[in-house]
Chain A
Amino acid sequence: MPMLGRRYLTSSIRFKFIVWFLAISLIPMALIGLLAYVQAKRSLEAQIADRLGGAAKVGMEQLDRFFFERLGNLREWADDKTLKEDLTAGARRRLADKFTHWVRTYLVMDFVGVYDARGRLIAMNDKDAQGKPLPVQKVQGMVRSGEAWHPGAQAGFLYLQDLHVSPLAKVLGLGERRVVGLAAPLDFGGGARRQTGVLYVEIGWERVQDLLDLVEKDFAGMGYASAKTYLVGPNGDTVIGLRDRAAYGKSLRRDLGFAGLAAAMVRQGGTSNISVGGRPHLAAVYPSHGVLGAPSLQWSLVVTADASDALRPVTTLGQVTAALVVIVGLVAGAAAAVLGARVARPIRGLAGHAAAVGAGDLERSIVIPSRDEVGDLAGAFNRMTEALRRTQAERERAEEERQRSQHQLLQAEKMAGVGSLAAGMAHEINNPLGGILQNAQLMEYGLDVADPQTREALARHGVAEGSREALGRYVKAELAEHLAAIQDCGRRAARIVRNLLDFSRKSETRIEPHDLGQVVEGALALASHEYDLKKRYDFKQIDIKVDVAPDLPPVPCDAQQIQQVLLNLIKNAAHAMYGLAEARPGYRPRLDLRIARRDGVATIEVADNGPGVPAGVLENIFEPFYTTKGAEEGTGLGLSISKFIVHDVHHGQLKVESREGDGTRFIIELPLAPGPAPAPRA
């Protein structure tokens, strides 16, 4: 059972449909069919038993009536006047003619005779016996136990003698004849010569059997072809008559295989299911009752019918029902298979879809036109797949992002490595570079013949006054260019190193409280050095104002880095204003540096009255490598590094406000309270 249960659970939907369809359609049908079959069988059995019983009764009553009528004949004959006269007269010849006439008239009697009081046969119908001495029959010898027909008839009663072999027929040379005897009292003579005797009639057994044949024929007419009748004698078992002549004298139970037919039933009558020769039969019994108090024989009529034959309609009904069950089962099974397949198909499609999605194919979607639960399931599935697809796409994007970040991190690490390498190398490079630049400058001084100290030196070395101009021309024509090239290259190298250092310095942070005023002054000083040497931006022409709020406490910062930021802003401002100054005569460049305190932050404003920043540039102004300057003038890293310093190192803000044509204002905000730990040193 558990195995069946598991088998059921692991079976397909189609299989389950088939199981349920069959169960729903076949079980009630089979039950109803079985019930109908049993009921019909029982009813038919009762009906057949009725008919068999009825037939047995009719047959037996016919026999009873037959003997009753013959007894009536006998009584009539016994009162016949001419018979008495002939007997009285001893006219045997006439008697024989009379008896023969009776036999011929009624056909059913084989012998009619008269016995006198002592049991001697005094007259009979046999013509051949005419004139012959009549056989004297000792009647007593013929009397079977309990059938004292001769003395009974002598005493004035009608008697029937049960089936027996006729002694008369033997005497007359007619062989063994089975007969039933009838006896009636008789008197004749009258007066002193009055005699008593017995009128005796024998009825041949064939007559009885003809009657039984008629009963069987009736059955055949009723449709019970297999019906058989058995006339059973007084012992309730021995067959004394039936169409099947071979069964004569045999025992029902012992010889003919009747089982279950009780002797009592044979005597009392009734119906029963019995077995005959191992086959089921229906049997009905009707015992003789006699008619109107007339004597009767203790016979019973047994009628049987083969059940399989008799119940054929019911069997047919059962077979038809079974066939219907099979047909309905087949139809239901086929319908279930088709329906199960139709239900299972979209589910199987979904399962295949799910497997494909599980295997990673997220581009699929399934179309199920039905709007039922399966359709809903498909819809839900599609939405789930869509969600999965989105999640997957997000994950891929995140992964790309992560890889990009990792790449950037690697780049940054590489750059940091370059930076620290550069920092290590810078000192080594800066010294020879300084040597080159300083000595080149001294050479420049030394070759400037207009310079008084050079003149002095020339004089000291004996260069004649007149040769100086020629020397100057020579220098200008032949040497100045190369000297300038040396200086130019040296400066470029210096700038490269400085940029590298700016970059590498990002990781070196020392945050300590500083006076922002001093920091700003330092930045201005650095800027002035720088702008002095770069003659293109004349720093002195800029009107610089510094305004420091009086109550400002020392601000935690890396002074050098903030100076770098300020220097960058100042340089940018100067650069921008210089451009405007060239384009517009009368323009007065102005730079306002304002240090103040506001809401827990210190602010340093760097405001110029330059040309301002166009909106498109403003958006990108803090982007790394974004520059509006030529390649030789800027690296595009200044403001991005500045922003890094303010935001990431100092946890402050670097903001810019600008309108084109209206100057630019950068605002550095530095927290007054020490912020979180600065970015770790690389």
Chain B
Amino acid sequence: MRLARRVLIVDDEEAIRRSLSTYFRRRLGYDVQEAGTMEAAVAAAAAGSLDLCIMDIRLGGDHGLEALTRIRQMHPALTAIIFTGSTHFGWSPELARLGLTHQQVLQKPLEDLGVMGRLAAQLLGDPAP
């Protein structure tokens, strides 16, 4: 059995962060780390390897992309999913520079956690859960 995928879930909304965390850990068997702020996220990323980062954009300010950029510097191979409730945020050239496509942007609210799980598996090249 291969090692569990390591995912960092960054969201300042605890209800979202916690439920995503539970979902990835319990349902999908990921090794999950959580962060509620940019600083915590960067610190968590620095602590070890990461396969996936689920990043909220608005972390008490539009710091999500900055956090992602910094995490990307530490983990260039990292796969990211933008998970945002912002209506103003869409796919942009900035995301393209980070190597992200349309598919890697998910809008809140997510009506089915399975969408997130399948997207993560697809991006990581794992079999669908």
* A interface residue numbers (CB < 8 A to B): 422-423, 426-439, 441-442, 445, 453, 457, 490-491, 494, 497-498, 501, 504-505, 508, 510, 512, 518-519, 521-522, 525-526, 529, 532-533, 559-560, 563
Q: Which residues of B contact A525 (CB under 8 A)?
A: 102-103
- Whether the pair A439, B111 counts as a contact (CB closer than 8 A) is no
Of all chain B residues, the one with the shortest Cβ separation from A561 is B90
**Interface code B77-96, partner A: CB below 8 Å = 1, 0 otherwise?**
00000001111101111000
Given A439-B19, A494-B111, A533-B111: A434 and B102 within 8 A (CB)?
A: no
- Is there an interface contact between B109 and A563, defined as CB atoms closer than 8 Å? no
Contact of B15 among A438, A445, A521 (CB under 8 A): A438
Asked if A491 and B115 make an inter-chain contact with CB atoms under 8 angstroms apart, the answer reads: no
Taking the closest CB of chain A, its distance from the CB of B103, in whole angstroms, is 5
Question: B112 contacts A439, CB within 8 Å?
Answer: no
**B109 and A442 contacting across the interface, CB-CB below 8 Å:** no
B85 adjacent to A427 (CB under 8 Å): yes
> Which residues of A have CB within 8 Å of B87?
422-423, 426-427, 430, 501, 504-505
Contact indicator A518/B102 (Cβ below 8 Å): yes
B107: interface (CB < 8 Å): yes
- Collect the chain B residues with CB atoms within 8 Å of residue A427's CB: 58, 84-87
User: CB distance B88 to A453 under 8 Å?
Assistant: no
How many of B's residues come within 8 Å of A, CB to CB?
A: 35
Which of B22, B58, B110, B118 counts the most chain A CB atoms within 10 A?
B110
Q: Which residues of B contact A512 (CB under 8 A)?
A: 93
Contact across chains for B58 and A433 when beta carbons are under 8 A apart: no
Query: Which residues of B sit under 8 angstroms from A494, Cβ to Cβ?
Result: 109, 111
Cα distance, A436 to B18, chains bound together (Å): 12
B85 A430 Cβ-Cβ under 8 A: yes
Contact A430 B107 (CB under 8 A): yes
A490 and B58 alpha carbons, distance in the complex (Å):
22
Q: How far is the CA of A457 from the CA of B22 in the complex (A)?
A: 12
- In the complex the two chains form, what is the Cα distance from A559 to B96 in whole Å? 13
Given A431-B16, A433-B108, A522-B102, A438:B113 Cβ within 8 A: yes
Beyond A439-B19, A563-B102, whether A431 also contacts B108 by CB under 8 A is yes
Residues of A within 8 A of B23 (CB): 438, 441-442, 445
A533 touching B114, Cβ below 8 Å: yes
How far is A71 from B92 in the complex, measured between Cα atoms in Å? 167
B13: Cβ under 8 A from any A Cβ: yes
Check B85–A431 contact: CB distance below 8 A. yes
A442 in contact with B108 (CB, 8 Å): no
A428 to B13, CA, bound (A): 10
Chain A to chain B contacts (Cβ below 8 Å), 20 pairs = A427-B84, A429-B85, A430-B87, A430-B107, A431-B15, A431-B85, A433-B109, A435-B13, A437-B109, A437-B110, A438-B20, A441-B19, A442-B113, A453-B27, A494-B111, A510-B92, A522-B91, A525-B103, A526-B102, A533-B111
Residues of B within 8 A of A510 (CB): 92
The interface residues of chain B lying within 8 Å CB-to-CB of A491 are 111
Residue of B nearest to A422 (CB): B87
